[in-house]
Every structure is written in C-alpha cells, then in structure tokens.
Structure 1
Amino acid sequence: MAEQKTQLDRLLEEIDRTPWGPQEQALVAEAVALAQEIGDEQLEYQARMRQTASANMGGLTDLMLSSFAWCLAHHDADPARFPADIDNGAADLMWQFKWMASSLRSSPAFSPEQIAAVLDDMEAHYRTAGLGMSGVLMARFEDAHAAGRMDDAERLRVQLEATPRDSHSHCDACGRSQVAGFFADTDRDEDAIRLVEEMLEGGFSCGEEPEHALSVSLLPYLRLGRGEQARAAHLRSYRLAKDNPDLLTAIANSIRFCALSGNEARALTLIERHLPWLAHDALNAQGHFRMLTAIGTALDAVTAAGHGDTPVRGADSPDLERFFGAHGGADGTAWSAAELAAAAWAAAERIGVRFDERDGTDNHARRLQFARTTAGDRYDVPIRSDVFAAPTVDATPTDDEGWYRRVLDLAGYGAAADTLDALAQVIDRVDPDRRAVLTGQRLAALVNLERIEEATELLPDRIQSLRAAGRDAQADVEERFGLALFGTATAADNAALAELFAASADPSGPAALTPAARGDIALTLAFEFGDEDPAAALELSEQAAALFAEAGDARLGHGAEIAAAMALLRAERVDEALARIDALLADPAITRGVRARMLEMRARVHGGRGAFTEGAADADEAGRILAELGSMSRFAGAQMLAGALWEDAEEPEQALARYRVGARLLEQHGGDVAGAKYRVARSMLNSGAVEEAAELFGEVLQLEEADEVPAGSRAMTALMLARALRAAGEGGQAYGAFGYAAELFGEAENPADQALALMNRAQILAQYDERDQAIETLEEAAALVRRAEDAPAAVVEVLHNLGQSYGAQQDPRAFALFDEVEAVARANDADWVVADVTDSRARAMLSAERVDEGVAAALTASDAFAAVGDAQSAGGSALLAARALNGGGRSADAVAAYRAVLDQAADIPPLRQIAALELGDVLQGLGRDAEAGEVRRLAED
C-alpha cells in the first residue's frame, strides 16, 4: 500500500509538470485508477480535481461533468476532508463551477431548469465560501449571451462592470474575451476590438487565450476594413489553437474568416484538418453548430470559386455520419465540397432547432440566417499558405483510339500506375497488333511497380498476343527469357541475352532474329548496363535505334534515343546528351509522354548548369502535359521540380506558386506531403510571409513526428520553425522551438547545429534582458561547438557571439575568444570574419574604456571591411572610432575618422547623412563653422 501511495504521489507530481494534452490526460486517468485501487477517497479526490481541469482543457465534457459531480458531492459531505481548493492551480471547486453551466448550456440535452439549478448552486456555494459575486455574474452573463437573451446579457454585463473583482473572478484574458464576443454579436465591433487589443497589449493570457479572443476579433476587423490586423490575428489565433480540440469554436471562426476573406483554398484545408474534431466531444453541440455553420459558409465559397467538385478528404468518416449522413455517391467517390456544404447547413439547422426548442427563443435560427446572409460577403485579405490544384482541361478519351494513345503517352513518360489504369479501358478492345503492344506495356508497368507475381501470371497472355500478331520471333525470345526483358534480368540473364544478340547478327544464321526482336534485346541490355558501363549502354542504344529504324518502329526508336541520352548523361557528356534531347523534342512524332519526360530531363540538365529559368520553363511545360494526361501524381512531381528551379533562380514567388500546387496534389494523390510542405514553408519564409511559414513548419514537424522521421531531419524542421516564429515576433514560442531543435540535434549527434540552435536561444534570452541566462546558454553552446572541428563556420559564429556577450559585460574572457575566432577565420581564408571580429574587439575595448586600443582596432576593422568590398561595415567601424574619439574629448582627431566614414558612405545615403550631421556638430564645436555648413549640406543631398 505504501509503495502504491508513493507511486501515486509521483504521478501527481508528473501531472503537475506536464502540459495539457493527451499525455497529461493519460497520466490523470492512471492516477484516478490507482487511487481507486488503493481505496483512498482523499487521494482519489486529489486525482479527480486534476481530472476535472484536465477534461475541461481537453474538451472532454462528459468526463469533466462526472468528475466535478463526484468531487462536489464529497466536498459537500465533508469539507474538511475534501477542501474546495487543494492549492493546485485550476483544481479549485469554486473555480471549476464556472465551467459547469457553460458546459450544460453547450448541449440541448440539458434543460433550462438544470442550467439554472447549477447557476443557483454555484451562487450558493460562493456565498457560503465568502466569495464575491463577480464569477457568478460572469457565468450568468455567458448563459444569457449563449441563449440569445441579449437584454439580460447586457444588464448582467453592466452589473458585472460595477462589481468588484476578487480571487474567483474570470481572469483578465477570459473576461475580456467573453465580453468581446458579446460586443461582436451586438454590432459593437470597435468595442470588441478594443477589449482584444487591451488583452494583447497587457500580455494577458490563460489556457485558451489569447487564441479564442483573437478569433472573436476576426469579423469585427474585417467589417471595419482593417484587413491586415485581421490577417495577423487569424494567423496567430490559428497557430495557437490548431492542436486543442476544445477550441473548436475558435477554429470555426478562422474557417469562416478564410471563406469571407478570399482564402477559399485555405478554408478547405482547415476544414479537412479539423473535421475529426466534430466527433471529439459529443456534448459540445454549441461548438458543432458553429463549426457546421462555418463549414457551410466556407464550402459554399469554395463552390462559388469554381471548385465545388473538389473532394473533401475525411468527410466520409463513419464518426461523422451522425452529422452528414452516409454519402450516397453511387460511384464510391468522396463528398464533394458542394455536397458537403448542403449537408453541413442541414446539420447546423437540426442542431439549432434543438437549441431553440429548449430555450424557447429563435436565437440559433437568427444566427443561422445571419450566417447565410453574410456568407457572400467578400474582403480581400490574401493568405498564401494554400491553393487549389490547378484546374486541367478535361482530356479524358472518348473512344478506343484515344485510350490507346493515352496508354502510349503515359507509358512513354513512365507513369506505371496511370498506364495500368488506362490499359484497363482498352486492352480487350483493340486489334492483335495493338494488343501485342499493350500487353508489353502492361508487363513493363507491373514490373516497375514490383508486382512481379501479377506480371508472371500475365506472361502467357503476352506470348499469345505476340503470336496472334505474327511476331513469333519476339514471342520465342520472351518465352525463353520471360520478365528479364521487362526489368528483372539477373547477371546470368544479361550474359545470355548478350550472347543471343551477338549470335543473331547473321541474318542467315541459325540464331537469326527479326530487327525488332534484336532491337528489343539491345535496348534491354542498354538500360541494364546504363549505370555500370555508360559507354556500352550508349553503343547498345545506338544499335537498338538502328534496328528499330530498320523495323519501322518509331515508338521503340524513341525509347532507344532516351536510353542514349541517359547514357551520355551518366558518362558526363552533357553537351552531347543535350543535343540528343533537343533532337528528340524537335521530332513531331514523339508521344506527349516522351515529350514530358524529355522536358523534365532537359530541365534537370539546365538546373545542373545553372540555367535555372530555362529549366523551370521546361518543368512547367512538362507539368502542363502531364496534367492533360490526367497523371496528377506525376504532375505534382513536375510542379515540385519547377518550384525547385524557380527557387534556385531566386524567384521565391514563382517557386511558391508551384510548390503550393504540388503539395495540394500530393495530399490528394499520395506522396511526400511533409517534404512538399517544407518547401512551401521555406519559400514563404524567403518571401517574407513569416506567419504562414511558421504555421506550415509546425505542421511539417507534426507530420515528421507521426512518421518517426530521424531526429536530424526533424531538428532541421524545428530550426526553421523557430526562425519563422522569431521573424513573426513570437519570441517565447521561438525560444521553445530552438530548444527542441537543440535537443533533436543532440540526439542526432550533430554538435555544430545543436550549438547554433542554443546560440539562437541565447539571443532571445538577451532580447528579453535575461543576460546571465543567455551567457550560460552560450557557454553551453561553445562547449558543444568546440567538438565540431569539421564545422568552422559554426565555431566562428558561436564563439564570436559568446565573445561579444562577454565584451558587453566587460568580461576580459572576451579577448581570448576573439583571438580564437580570428585564428579559425584566418585558417579558412575568411577575411570578412577577420574584419568582423576585429570590430567586435574594438567595441569590447571601448566598453572597457581602453579608448586608444579600441579606436585603433575599429580603424583596422574599417580598413579590413573596405578591402573585401563591404563599404557599409567599413563605414560603421570608422563611425565607431569617430564617436569614441569625440566622446573622449579628442574632437580634432575625430574629424579624420568622420571623413573616413563619408568616404565609405558615398553610395550609402543613411550612413552618409548620420556621419555628415555628426561631423558638422564636431566642426562647429571646434569653431570651424564654414566647414561645418559645407559638411551638413552633404546630409541634404
């Protein structure tokens, strides 16, 4: 028993250290079960009080209500053994009372009488405990607002303002958030925003704030024409709320904002991501109503934007049938946006009717009517995180000829799965010659997909189709070698094929074969030898091309030209390969699939040569062709290639456009979604869309965590997330992300990047004036980075930062670090770094009042910067020297230094202006007024 109690104590301590969420919920459930096993009701009370708070934060209303009822009953029976407040944050019965009426109000399963009884019981307990009425009034205000009794709500709000706050009042964040929502619902947008902005400016927060309040402010901001503030509020609100199912209403507000602000694609993405939350809390019907209304609004907007046929992923989950019903699509397709919009509106209406019948009002009917009336409102507030897949021309074949050409197109590109899908439409409806072609394409596609057993079973049909087409020689070879001719050849197979190829060269000999059969062997061997012997592969490819020309088979001849180009590339004969590719692209007889394949190949060649724009254009054209062919997964790949080339061409906006489409297609059709979204996020960061970048990097990190991606890869994503958060002004979150990145880099045994992550963490600490902790973190980073001998850049950066921090504290250890940094820089010919660390040395000396040495170092740094062409930094170091001389009473000496700044600042107007004005003051102080006036005129140029 004692051992179990010790275990329970440890569990409770761990619960108190663990953030809200699934892990914490599991610990609480374990603690309750252990207390029950022990049979100690006081210990169970300790666990259940935590469970009530945990369930409230996790949106587990059933559990919250039952846990609270158990605790309240025990408290009322024996307040001494079961005190209302167990000194554990939100584990306070009187505080938890606030959640009860709200939870009952959120479900029409509870009657008005039950809700009123809870509110009355709350007031009675507060009075008995000697507490003020502020918390009770707020609970009654929330109830009246939610029920649509707006006059009562306004009266209670005014009364609440006049009531003194006490220890059990709503916190500053929650109180403002609730009243802001009421103001927004009663056409007082400016008042709503004022309360939210007061919350933000005051730094008020709690478990679900400011994310909920920010979501409340979205429509008021839009209606007042403050789109940029609305955009920022949405991005921050969503980033904070996206992992907490209890914030379903906040997510609904964000979805509705996206629909009204012209971000229909983003609205669809958010719907797909959060649809499962509808099934999370069966009692949160109020949240369901808000979410369903938002879904209806958003999907109507998607439909109006021309994408009503877009499938909504996840909508067919059995868990959602109680909202939408079973999907009646006879073809087994998913819910389309247009279909789900209608189902969402209908579900919202059903829930609204139940609420209004319970409350005896038309509150929900009016809310629904308002939502429908305003669903068509539009405010232009672009957010670039999501995009619809580009609409394509409907080029679905309408006859057997079209399907046959489609198969050849897809096979020519190498889209095996799409080839098989198209084959099924036509293979049994063509003549023997074409069937022989199609059975070959089928085997090649199956082998490509490693479906060897299926290919083996279909091999006899292939042989039979060849003989039916009169191609007995080919049938004999394939009967002997089987799937070896389609990509499964062993070394022994290749040797036998080479022997047969040589023996069949004599057209009158016993092993003679037709040119087409010999060409097929040569082409098979060319692809087999491509990696290990490019020269042999090239020779075989050219022989194959000649044999197919003799046989009059242009299609296979094109395959031989592809093999030749690949062999030339492997042999690093790039110019010759490019000439082959150009020649093939100039042939009007090639299939569209071969054209797309060659365009992609040429795009990669261009990229390798630094001709990024030309390569991107080729990749774009390849993507257009693949979209027409209906190969959406391959289209996605082409989009990602084009995005990479545009990114290399330093065109982040062009890259972003391709990456977004590619990522959306990969989500729909399968592929490396995390990798694609990482590229989208990186492009956004590079183009300045830092808030969207932070959101996406966070999503990528979650995907990587779920897929158990190696720690090193996750660390890079966490690092990029931290950088985006920092750029977005979210210092606290960035601090945590840098810490997580450092932890992952440590797990991956990468001390250089671990040290850099810690260095960034230290910079944030310094930004918030936590200088001692910042230096401790930098010292930890320095100890790590010294182990990274193969990463001089990281060594320099971390040690330099620590030296600068020491210098700012007048700690003499700075100078040994500067010496160490300079030595590493000189060893690696990093002249700019030498100049930079010399500038840091000067600043540290001046901070320590070593003026002569500091000035000399600053001027040395200026000369060094100038020598490497960095006029801006050269002028900055000279300005440092000039100010030090002037501040040290050596104004005459400062003049020369200021003139050095002016020389460096000839093409840098801001620096020239500062130096001219300061030099003018110095000259005037020396009595050289004419010179002062002349210099000051430079500031006006």
Structure 2
Amino acid sequence: MTDEARVREMIAQLWDMPYGAAHIAAAEEAVRHADALDSADLGFHARMAATPAYQHGGEPAKAFVTFSWCLAEYDRNPARYGANDAELLRWYFKYVISSLTKFPEVPLDRTYAVLDDMQRRFTIGGHSLHAVYQYRWVVANHLGDEAAADEWYAKWSAAARDENSDCAGCDPTSKVSHLVSRGCDEEAVALGEPVLAGQLGCREQPQSILTELMLPYLRTGRLDEARDAHRRAYRTVRGNVANMGDVNQHIHFCGVTGNEVRGLELIERHLDWLDRAPTPLTAMYFAAAAGLVLRRLTEAGHGEVPVRRAAGEISVAALADDLAAHARDLAQKFDERNRTTHQSRKVAEWLTAEPIVDYLPLTATARPLSAPPVADAAPAEPAPVVVDVPESTTVDELLDMIDHGYSTGDERRSFALVRVFAERFGAGGLADDQAARWADYQAGGAANERGDLAEAERLWREAVRLYTELDLPDRRYTASGRLGLTLCELGAGDEGLPMTEEAAAYLLTQGAPHLRASAAHRLSGALLSLSRPEEALAALDVAAEYAPDSPNPYTVFAVALSRAQCLGMLGRVSESVVAARQAHGGFAELDHRAGRAASAWAMGLGLEMTGDGEGAVAAFEDAIAHLSDGRVIADARRHRAHLLAATPRAAEVIDDLVELVALAEERAPVGVRTGPRADLPSAQIRFDLAVAYRHAGRLLDAAEIAEEAVPALAAAERPDLADRCRYLLASIYRDMGETDGALALFDQLTVNLDGFDNAPARGQMHEEAAEILYRLDRDGEAAARFLAAAETFRASGLILDELRTRRMSALSLRWAGDPEAAVARLEEADACLSGVPVDEPPARWERAMLGYDGARVLLGADRLDDALARLDGVAAQFRSIDAYAEALQVELFVGELLLRQGRAPDAEAQLRPVLGAAPTGSDLSQNAAWLLCESLEAQGRSADAQRIRDEYGLDA
C-alpha cells in the first residue's frame, strides 16, 4: 500500500469513528500525514474530516482553523472538489457561526462577516436561506435581541427546507429553544412531540430535543414527561464533553425540581470538564447551573458537605461561591463583547432560580433532602384480648388464671390478665407467695410481650429470691431457668448458663413432669444464644422426649422450631427444613400465628439455601402473612424479592424492593452523600431491584439503579458483589444499545477478575465484549478480543470455549479484510479439535460450526475448492443434533459455492431441496429462491427462473 493510499484509508476511517478524544487524535494524525506528503487534496480531505471531529469532540475552536483552510483551498481550486465537498462546507458554516458566539474574545464583526459570507454563497448557489435565517437567529438570541430573534425566527420558519437545513430532529429543537425563551411552553411541547414520535437518525437526537423540552414539560404540569426526558437524555449526553451544554441544562433541571442531591452527583461527575470546557459559554452555564444546586444545598444546611474534585475536596458552600463568581465574570466578558447585559441577566436568573415544583422524584428510590421517615412495613397488631374477670375474683384466683394461660400457651390471655391484676392488686399488700408469683408473671410479660429483658431480669431475680425463701423449688427453678435464659440473651452467659443448667438438672429429675420439657427447652435456648448449637441440639432431644407431657399444646412444635434453628446453625440444612416443616404444620393447625410465622421464616431460609426457590418463596409469603414484627417482615420481603427478581414474576417484587431501599436508607446515617454510601443492605437491595427491573423489561430503571448499586457495593467492601453488579450493568447497557458503556465495564471486569480462579469468568468477559464489537462491525477489535478469550479459556482447560472463540476470531478477521490472518487463526481453531469429544451434542455443534464458519473464512481467502470441501458432512452433523435450520443454511451455502464454481446444474440440484424445506417467507427461502434463479439463468433457462421469481416475489 502506498503512503497516499494509507492516508486516504486513515481519512476514510475517520468518518466512521465515534466522537471523542480518540477521534480527534486520529484526525490530527491524518492531517499530519497528509501535510507530510505535501498534497493539497489530501490536506483538504483530512481537514474536512477533522472539522466535525473537533466540533463534536469538544474542541470547536480548532474547527475554525480547519474550516478556514478548507474554505480557502476550495475557493482556489473549486473544480478539483465535488458537489459533496461543497455541501459539507455549507454545513460547516453552521458549526462555525454557532461556536463563534461562544468565545467572548471573538469580535461580533467576525461572526457577522462569516454569516454574510454564508448567505452570499447560499444565494449564488440557488439554495434556500432556511439555514442562514436559523443562524442569524442564533446570533440574535445569544445577544438577547428579542425583536431581531423574532424576525429571524419568522423568516426561518417560513423558508423552504433543503439539504443544508438541520435534520428533522435538530431543526425543531432549535425552534423549541426559541419558544421556551419566550415562555411559549405549550407551543414548544406541541412542536417537539411529533418529532419524538418519528424516527430520528441523527446522532444528536432525541437527546437534544428532550433536553430542550424538560422545562416546558415541567412548567405545563407534564411531570412524568419531564422526568422521562431528563432520564433518557442525560444518559446519552453524559459521556462526551462536547455535550457539556446539554449537561448544564440537566444540572439546572435538578436545581428547579428539588433534586439537589442528584444535582450534586452530576456536578461531581462533570466538575473536571470545567477545565476543558468546549467553549467559555458552556463553562459559564455549567458554573451557573452548579452554583444554583450548591446554593440550595447550602441553604438547606449542607454547606459543609465535601465535594470531590481533582484539586482536592472543597465544601459545598465554598464551591457555590467560587462557581457563582466564575459565571458572573464570564457573563460580564460576553456582555462587554456584545454591548448588552443579556448574558449577565440569564446567569443571575439561573443562580437565583427557585424550584418550579417542590420535588419531582427522578427514580423510584429517589427521596428529597428532608423526606419524612419511612415506616416499617408491619401489619396492624391483633386486637388486644378482652378478658372478663368478675369483681369477686380473689388475688389467688387471678394468679391461677394467669398461670394457666402461661402453662397452656395462651400467653396473650395471660398478658391481659396481668394488666387486670395490676389495676386491681398491683399497688401492694400481697402475701410473700402472691408477691413471688406476681413478680414472676410480670417478668413474663416484660420479656415476651414488650421485649424489655432488663426489666424481666429484675423481676425474675425478685421472684427467685421470694420462691427460695418460701421453699417452693418447682417455682424457684422454673423462674431461675427463665432468669438464666434472659441473662444469656443479654450477654451475661457466665452467670446465666450455670443458672439455667442447675434449674434444668433439678426439674428434669425432681420437678413435676409437666415442667420438664420447658426446662430442657430453656436450656437449649441458653446454649443456642451462646452459639453452642451441638449442645443445644442435645438439650432439644431431651425436650422432645418430655414435650408430649406438657399442658402447652404448642411445646412439641416450639421444640421442633428450635431444632430447625440449631440444625441450620450447624449447616445441616436439609434436616433443618424437615424440622421447620413439622413445626409449621403444627402451628398452622393450631392457628398459632407467631409460631407459624417463625417456622415459615426458618423453612424459607432453609429452602433458599437448598436451591428450592419456589418452595422458599411460598414459605416467605406465609411468614409475611403472619408476622407482626415490621423489621422481620422487611427481611422476609427482601428474601422473597431476591428469589423472584430474576424470574418471570420480577414485576411483582419491584414495589417491595423500592420500599425496602427506602427502609434501608432510613436506617443508615442521614445527610447528603457526595459518594456511595457504605451501606451493604441498601446496596444489595438496589442490586436486586436492578435485576428485577431488567427482567421486567424496564431497562432504563435497571440501569439507573445498578449505577447506584455498583459504587455502594464497592464502598461496602464487597468487590465480589460489585463485580456481579458491574456485569449486570454491562448486560443492561448492551441491551439498551449503550455499547460504549458496556465495553468499558467488560474491560474493567477483565482486570478485576485477574487470577487463575477467575480465568473462566475473565474469558467470558472478553468474549461478550467481542460479541458487541462483532455486531458493531468493529471486526478487527472483535478478532483481538475473541483471541484474548480463547487464550484465557485455554489456560483454564475449557477446550470447547477455546474452539468457539478462536473460530469467531478467525471469522472476524475475515470480515476485517485480513484473509491471511483469518486462515491462520482458523488453523489454530482446527488444532483444538483433537481435544474435543466426538459424541456429545455441544461438541458436535462446535465441530459443525467450525466447518461452516471455516468455509466462510476460506471463501474470503478465495480458496473456493477448500471451502466447498470443508462443508462435506457438516449438514449431517447439524441434523444429528436436531439443528435443522443450520443444516439448511449449510446446504444453501454449498449451492452458492457450486454456483461460484460455474457448476450451475449441480447448484440447482443442491438448492431445490433447500427451497422446498425452507419456511415460507423466511430469509432462507428468499435466498434459496434467488440463488436457484441464478443457477437457472446460468443454464439459459430464463423462463424457469422467471417462474421462480414470480412465485417468490423476487425482483429480477
């Protein structure tokens, strides 16, 4: 390839590159090489390609130079250049005029001179002045000359559109901007919405028109549309500094919708852009928009919150002052150049703006600065038990009633009777035995009804003392066992466990039989609270032996529930599920709400751990229906939501997860956060919510929540979960078409997953990135990534994966136009076959695909005979694993190769069965019919070919 040809190829590649720093660097390299060859033609075309690179890459001032050079060269030698070059130059006038207004050091006379030159050229060429009028409006609007702006707007709207006009999305966007500046919001919305309903192929749409419509939507009460416009548009503009003007509007939008926290996130994300702003005008409005958000944060009491930036942290209040001063200073420079006060007025309006609405939630989990607490999701408490106690009831009779309720498991009745006793007899004057029982029963209420273990400890100590003095051993050891369990639960196991052990030893050998099960059960509870599950399980064996003798019908099932908890702690999960299921069945039959809820919860945890997601969901749903503790309900909802998030029932749990995020945030430290909160529960719930949104088909919501979860998981020092969430986010980006974001995350994951144990996952990341590049026709890059995946799979001993990715690397090289490298890579893939099994269906598939794709690679290298030979038997391989569509595709390819060899009769014989078997109307059917017609024409059978064309609707 000659030097000139190489430069021309460099220039051609520029037109297909995405905008950004790499595009600019490539354009400047092309210009340097063109100038080194001293070729005016190459210099012209290199600069013509560089001009949009600068304009859309965030360095529009450089476009002034390239445009001027090209315009002068064109004027010197117009015959050398074509109509397309002239049209591009007319288009570039618009770039330059728009940008000239944004540099205060550029005199207005120069801008008007360029405008006049533009109009002169358009007039001489017989073009519509539609675009000229638009850019005269741009200048007038910048100056704040409303009369002139209105005049040019009217002429612009009346003039005929032509090839020089902005596209069908961008032209209305500018008109919407004019209407918004005049307060004509309804007209702006009416003008913009038909554009959004159409098909917009421009790179700047629909994000630009959505950005312009945010305020009209907001001011006309179309809040859902305003939120959607912000969310959709910001995602598209946030990655390129050239879009800084749009980003400024999104920060301003946050400031006037009560979204100061999100506004601060955007400011931190883009603050470094201020030092490399495309123009002083965009820098000015960034400073003004950010100044608005930071002022409101300061006024809300968050002025000392640190803001991260490259130069070091600065407080919100200090940065607000700095940016406001910067915005005012730039506005003054523009006004001095313009001889108006318009820009200073606009900057002042932005800096001092007040909310248009108090608060517009931008995401499902977003909350304003001063949000009220979120209540725990607890059902209404059951109605209190009403007891009818005759006034004639004595102290001892009422104490016996309380005792009967406790011993038979009717605790709620006992609690109610305790309240009655307190009202009637609690003031004092009790005999010692009565006082002992009263303290005992009060302690039970404190512990089991109110959860006040400290008060329960005090009362049980008093009861034990009195029972000891009265020499009532059964009551003494029952109370001391309860006291010991309470002490263990309070963390005083050194005192509490011996007390519980002594009580159990006495009651199991000398106590009344009906007390034995409870004594052993209490001992197991004390041991379990001290994380001694093996010993607790042994105590439960004893409790189970005596449980049938207990007057409490729930004892058997309470012991089974405790057994489930012990077995779970010991990792004997399957046995735990069996015990929990036994407890759940008994409690449900006896209509014991709390026991049923607790056993359903334990059963759900066990089933989740054993992989029975469906059973676990049913168990958690039963627990939720019967629990009364709001926090436990939230945990059960969280587990249920986690299990359903990646299923077809994902939509059912989205609202639950949104509430759970809010609950988790309420329990975390309050205040404005400028970075991710190191709050693992909240981050994990966000992760599940992102999964649920994705499976429910709500990709935008999924992306935004996952973007919040990734840094939060990282801040919570869970890199494993953060990487899982990055992978989820990369997949969402891919599905949304945000391929740059997806590729960046896959790149990051290949680094994060470095290490032998992670090699298979790292290979997968390389392969998924390669698949994106392949679909984007970035075939050379795809080939390299497929090869990286293959090498990683090879190191992991994953031979089928290596074979697949080497095959795809070879095919990518074929499409990249490097047939020699493609064949060499194909030979590497062929070398993998020796380690591939013969009979397993996945191996048969890979062998067949290697045959098919290998033939395509060989065809690209003009090795037609080899390609045909390689396809021998491939269709049969596909049919052996019921891949009939693939088999037909191979047979179609064989027919095409026969036709290329000039073997038309053989091609016809090959293609007719394919056509007969292909589904009617499919691409396969159409292609087979087309190739069959070609084979018939080659044999001089035009009439037969025409009949096929007529039958299949083909154009000759």
Match of 1:544 in 2: 543
Correspondence for 1:263 = none
1:637 alignment partner in structure 2: 635
Partner of 1:203: 203
What whole-Å deviation, never above 9, does each CA across 1:859-883 have from its counterpart, x for those lacking one? 5333223222333333333333333
Name 1:921's counterpart in structure 2.
933
Q: Deviations over 1:203-240 (max 9, x none)?
A: 359xxxx8665322357799999999989754432335
Q: What are the superposed Cα offsets for residues 156-203 of structure 1, whole Å, 9 maximum, x if unpaired? A: 7679999xxxxxxx9x99999665422344324465579999997443
Q: 2:585 aligns with which of 583, 586, 595?
A: 583
Tell me the residue number matched to 2:510: 507
Q: Does 2:880 correspond to 1:867? A: yes
Q: Does 1:716 align with 2:720?
A: no
Change (3 A) 1:722 1:472: same
Residues 717-742 of structure 1: per-residue CA shift (max 9 Å, x gap): 33332222222122233333332333
- Please give the alpha-carbon distance, in whole angstroms, between the structure 2 residues aligned to 1:904 and 1:247: 55
User: Cα gap change, 1:191/1:382 in structure 2, threshold over 3 Å: closer, same or farther?
Assistant: same
CA 1:889–1:583: 2 relative to 1, 3 Å: same
* CA shift in 2, pair 1:223/1:680, >3 Å: same
Deviations 1:48-106 (Å, cap 9, x if unpaired)? xxxxxx9xxxxxxxxxxxxxxxxxxxxxxxxxxxxxxxxxxxxx9x989948xxxxxxx
* Alignment partner of 1:483 is 2:491: no
Aligned position for 2:380: 395
Q: Give CA-to-partner distance per residue, 1:740-787, whole Å, 9 cap, x none.
A: 333333389834433433444444445555443443444444444433
Tell me what 1:559 maps to. 558
Corresponding letter in the other structure for 1:879:
L
Q: 1:339 maps to which residue?
A: none
Change in 2 beyond 3 A, CA 1:249/1:233: closer
**Residue 814 in 1 paired to residue 825 in 2?**
yes
| CA deviation after TM superposition for structure 1 residue 428, in Å | 11
Q: Aligned pair in 2 of structure 1 residues 458, 904: CA closer, same or farther (>3 Å)?
A: farther
Q: More displaced, 228-237 or 647-656?
A: 228-237
Q: Which residue matches 2:213?
A: 217
Structure number with larger C-alpha Rg? 2
SS in 2 for 1:869: coil
Q: Distance in 2 between matches of 1:935 and 1:198?
A: 34
SS of the equivalent of 2:235 reads helix
Are residue 804 (structure 1) and residue 802 (structure 2) matched? no
Q: Please give the secondary structure, in 1, of the residue aligned with 2:873.
A: helix
TM-score (structure 1 length as normaliser): 0.58
Q: 1:252 to 1:778 in 2, by over 3 A?
A: same
Q: 1:646 aligns with which of 644, 653, 676?
A: 644
Unaligned runs of 5+ in 2: 1-19, 23-57, 59-95, 117-134, 159-165, 272-282, 306-340, 368-372, 388-418, 427-437, 669-679
Structure 2 Cα separation of the partners of residues 159 and 125 of structure 1 = 25
Distance 2:554 2:577 in 1: 24
Contact persistence 1:623–1:638 (CA under 8 A): yes
Q: Does structure 2 retain, via aligned residues, the 8 Å contact 1:235–1:692? A: no
Find the counterpart in structure 1 of residue 48 from structure 2: none
Which residue number in structure 1 is paired with residue 621 of structure 2?
A: 620
Return closer, same or farther for 1:897/1:821 CA change in 2, 3 Å cut-off.
Answer: farther
Deviations along 1:827-865, one digit per CA (max 9) or x if unpaired, are: 994323333333322322333344444345445333223
Q: Which residue of 1 aligns with 2:854?
A: 841
Q: Count how many residue pairs are aligned between Structure 1 and Structure 2.
A: 701
1:251 and 1:787 map into 2 onto residues whose CA distance is 48
Q: Calculate the TM-score normalised by the size of structure 2.
A: 0.57
| Contact 2:207-2:233 within 8 A present in 1 as well | yes
What corresponds to 1:417 in structure 2? none
Q: CA deviation at 1:518?
A: 3.6
Counterpart of 1:239 in structure 2: which amino acid?
R
Q: How many Å separate the matches in 1 of 2:906 and 2:446?
A: 90
Task: Say which of 922, 925, 942 aligns to 1:910.
Answer: 922
Cα distance in 2 between the residues matched to 1:399 and 1:732: 61
Q: CA separation of 1:723/1:638 partners in 2, compared to 1, >3 Å: closer, same or farther?
A: same
> AA paired with 1:507?
Q
SS of the equivalent of 1:826 reads coil
Aligned match for 1:675, one of 684, 691, 716: 684
Structure 1 residues 615 and 644: alpha-carbon distance in aligned structure 2, compared to 1, 3 A threshold: same
In structure 1, the partner of 2:702 is: 693
Distance 1:911 1:124, change over 3 A: closer
Alignment of 1:740-755 (within 5 A): 740-746=748-754, 750-755=758-763
TM-superposed CA distance for 1:642, in Å, is 1.9
Q: Deviations over 1:666-685 (max 9, x none)?
A: 33445622222222222333
**Cross-structure match for 1:733:** 741
Q: 1:466 to 1:677 in 2, by over 3 A?
A: farther
8 Å CA contact 1:176–1:196 kept in 2: the answer is: no
**Selected match of 1:684 from 686, 693, 702:** 693
Distance 1:603 1:577 in 2: 12
Q: Structure 2 vs 1, CA of residues 933 and 180 (structure 1 numbering), >3 Å: closer, same or farther? A: same
CA contact (8 A) 1:439 1:465 kept: no
Task: Label 1:202 to 1:553 Cα distance change in 2 as closer, same or farther (>3 A).
Answer: same
Q: Secondary structure at the match of 1:812?
A: helix
Superposed, 1:99-114 pairs within 5 Å as: none
Task: Summarize the alignment of residues 34-183 of structure 1 with structure 2, pairs less than 5 Å apart.
Answer: 98=102, 122=104, 138=138, 141-142=141-142, 144=144, 151=147, 153-155=149-151, 180-183=176-179
Q: One-letter code of the match for 1:580? A: Q
State the distance in 2 between where 1:828 and 1:665 align.
Answer: 54
- Aligned to 2:692, what secondary structure does the other structure show? helix
- The C-alpha deviation readout for 1:125-175, integer Å capped at 9, x for no partner, is 55599986899985762463xxxx85564247679999xxxxxxx9x9999
Letter in 2 for 1:517: A
Kept in 2: contact 1:241–1:250 (CA 8 A)? no
Identity of aligned residues (%): 17
CA–CA distance in 2 between the matches of 1:150 and 1:665?
Answer: 51
Query: Distance between the aligned counterparts of 2:629 and 2:546, measured in 1?
Result: 33
Displacement, 1:501? 4.5
Q: Distance in 1 between matches of 2:223 and 2:951?
A: 42
| Distance change in 2, residues 1:226/1:213 (3 Å) | same
1:746–1:154: structure 2 CA closer, same or farther, 3 Å change rule? Answer: farther
Kindly indicate whether the alpha-carbon contact (under 8 Å) linking 2:252 and 2:290 is maintained by their aligned counterparts in 1: no
Measured after TM superposition, the shift of residue 896 of structure 1 is 5.4
Q: Does 1:703 align with 2:708?
A: no
